[in-house]
Amino acid sequence: MKNKLLIYIYTCVIISTQTFAQTYVADVSKKGTTAATFLTIPQGARAMGMGGAYVSVVNDPSAMYWNPAGLTKVSGIGAYFDHTEWFAGVKFNYLAMTFNAGEYGSVGLSFTSSDIGEMNVTTVDEPDGTGEVFKATDIAFSLGYAIALTDNFSIGITPKFISQSIWRMNASAFALDMGVQYVTPFDGALLSMSISNFGSKMQLTGNTALVLITSGENDKVPAEYQTDEWSLPLNFRVGIAYQPLKSDLHKWTVAIDAQHPNDNYESINVGTEYTYNGFIALRAGYKDLFLKDALFGLSAGVGVKQVLVGNVAVSFDYAFQQLKRMGNTQKFSVGVNF
């Protein structure tokens, strides 16, 4: 009896300790602790209009960003261009191309870049500028592959190369995105999961870190500042999409995504899309629901689907996203399918 009591007390202590530790860790936000945060900026006006609840919905070349398994939903040859007017005058461009080889799977290629513009170099002695200018750039290349293992189950993988530079310093990393999409037996509801930016750490190096210091009687000893390594913004998403209304004339989709990033608290994205006659789409959503001090909020968008230009189908999408403390942002996307 004594031994059983000790075991019981010990078990309670362990459980209580773990619960306290988990609660404590959960209360600590990790904002600003990752590199390459441009990888968290959502791609595609349709996705933004739906509040980022897109991991199950995606069926266009932006699957290279959201869920590689979605590449299997793009027929023939697809091309996609996305332009984002971000806050503080920052602009982002995203270009993706895909090819569906049928039973052999689908391949894709994407390129993401930022345009921050030139800035003046300032120093303590010359706060108004030295006459020099510098740039900060973000670039990511992705190569994806996805295959439908059954009529209802698809899997995809996307290796990527990431590079960031500012003035004479730069950093690079390799990462991997993985995802699955499953058409459930429950009236065709889609269940999906994806992991984004699982890869190496980034560390800035370059000539800016080379300095001359004073050591004893020597006042020009060459030295180099060493920067820390920072993890990539890893994110795990689980999403469900369902169409409560689906006819030849009307389609209504509702979607919800739960996300678990390594640099913030967990949150939920919700979105909806109504499509009339397969041509006009209206969208609305809310990003980062239940997230403490969330930057994002309501979003809305509109799209024109499948405009035929000869044998080419062209789609246009626009979205508006509320940024609570940084102004609002807009996104424009064009998709082409051959």
pLDDT at residue 48, as a whole number: 93
Query: Would you give the end-to-end CA distance of the chain in angstroms?
Result: 76
In a domain? residue 2: no
Return phi, psi of residue 230, to 5°: -130, 140
The set of residues, in sequence order, having a beta carbon less than 8 Å from that of 198 and lying 6+ positions away, is: 175, 176, 177, 178, 232, 234
The set of residues, in sequence order, having a beta carbon less than 8 Å from that of 305 and lying 6+ positions away, is: 275, 278, 279, 280, 281, 315
| Nearest Cα to Cα of residue 253 among 278, 277, 287, 283 | 283
How far is Cα 219 from Cα 133, in angstroms, rounded to an integer?
Answer: 28
| Nearest Cα to Cα of residue 230 among 24, 39, 26 | 39
In a domain? residue 171: yes
Give residue-wise pLDDT tens across range 123-145.
888 888 888 888 888 999 999 99
Could you count the other beta carbons within 10 Å of the beta carbon of residue 217?
Answer: 5
pLDDT at residue 121, as a whole number: 85
Q: Which residues pair with 201 in a beta bridge?
A: none
pLDDT at residue 190, as a whole number: 94
Q: Which token pair is 58?
A: 């995606």
In a domain? residue 8: no
In a domain? residue 14: no
| DSSP result, 190-219 | EEEEEEEEEE--B--EEGGGEEEEEETTEE
Residue-number span of the structural domain to which 85 is assigned: 36-337
Distances (CA, A) of 155 to 41, 133, 144, 151: 23, 45, 11, 12
How far is Cα 334 from Cα 231, in angstroms, rounded to an integer?
Answer: 32
Residues of the chain with pLDDT under 70: 1-29, 215-217, 307-310
* DSSP 8-state secondary structure symbol assigned to residue 34: B
Structural domains of the chain, count: 1
In a domain? residue 25: no
In a domain? residue 291: yes
| Nearest Cα to Cα of residue 321 among 34, 60, 44 | 44
Give residue-wise pLDDT tens across range 102-117.
889 999 999 999 877 7
The set of residues, in sequence order, having a beta carbon less than 8 Å from that of 130 and lying 6+ positions away, is: 120, 121, 122, 123
In a domain? residue 333: yes
CATH of the domain at 236: 2.40.160.60
Only one residue has tokens 């979607």, namely: 255
- By residue count, the chain amounts to 338
pLDDT at residue 95, as a whole number: 94
In a domain? residue 15: no
